[in-house]
Amino acid sequence: MRIFISGLRKLIGRPASFVSVGLLVGLLALILIASATAGQSSGARGAAAARQLLTFPGSYDFVLSFLFGFGGLVAVTFAAAIAGSEWSWGTLKNAVARGESRARYMLALFAAIAVMVAVGLAISFALGIGVALVAANIAGISTAGVTDSDTLARLPAMVARGWFAVVEQAALGFAIATLARSQLAGIGAGIAFYFGEGFAQIFLPDIVKYMPFAVARASVDTGAAGGGGFGGGAAAAGALSPDTALVLVGVWLVGSLAVAVLFTERAEITG
């Protein structure tokens, strides 16, 4: 617990924490405000597109889909930056020199990252919904659906699933940066893996659907009417069911952490 609390205190003040949330909220706000203004100036087609994004309760779906999609990439880079800095800044070496268990230290650090991911997603969601309400008013779209009881009732479960999926992606970045012992290498490899998996899906869909980013997306796709629900659209033919994907998310999460811990246990810490 002491290591976990120390990790939280350290992460709260890290620029990467603020940059990650700012990037998510800024890009989301840009999309929503651009949709509102485009709807006013581009005729019937633009108005229809803006209405689709800015009409509640559908806006809940869009905001969560964005956070669980693009937020996964941000989580990869955030966790990679934190894990890589433990090696390049000598923080891990100092902890081990004090007699800390390597495995306990790494797991406590990742637990702190998972909490920061939860806080970041919560802040981004609240601000995103606020921007969506402002954008809807700019576009002259009713916000009456913001209190839709069915949507509000399923929000907690979907937010929990989405957080778990994003944490799994963070674990992958954490493991990559640990293996590379470098922030830049971890971030670069994590981003390459993210986009490489998306590109490979064109040619190897039956294999890629079991990969970490694909199962993360599938685990929060409820297939709800009118756009596939949270997670970014209806599942493609042959895709994993959300519950199956959620199990695989857990497998990838545990596997990534196991690799990071085992490597740290056996690595020679120098510098």
Q: Torsion-angle region of residue 153: left (phi > 0), alpha (psi -120 to 50) or beta? A: alpha
Domain ranges across the chain: 2-20+59-114+146-266
Give the integer Cα–Cα distance in Å for 51 and 216: 28
Enter the tokens of residue 96.
């081990």
List residues bridging with 228 in a β-sheet. Answer: 224
Amino acid at 162: G
CB environment 109-146: b (16+ within 10 A), e (fewer): bbbbbbebbbebbeebbebbbebbbbbbebbebeeeeb
Distance of CA 15 to the CA centre of its chain: 18
What is the residue-level pLDDT of the chain in tens, covering all 271 positions? Answer: 777 888 888 888 888 899 999 999 999 999 998 888 875 555 556 567 667 788 888 889 999 999 998 999 999 999 999 999 888 888 888 888 888 889 999 999 999 999 999 999 999 999 999 999 998 888 888 888 888 888 889 899 999 999 999 999 999 999 999 999 888 888 999 899 889 988 898 888 888 999 999 999 999 864 443 444 454 444 444 678 889 999 999 999 999 999 999 999 988 776 5
* Contact yes or no for 129/66 (Cβ under 8 A): no
Taking the model in full, what pTM does it have?
0.88
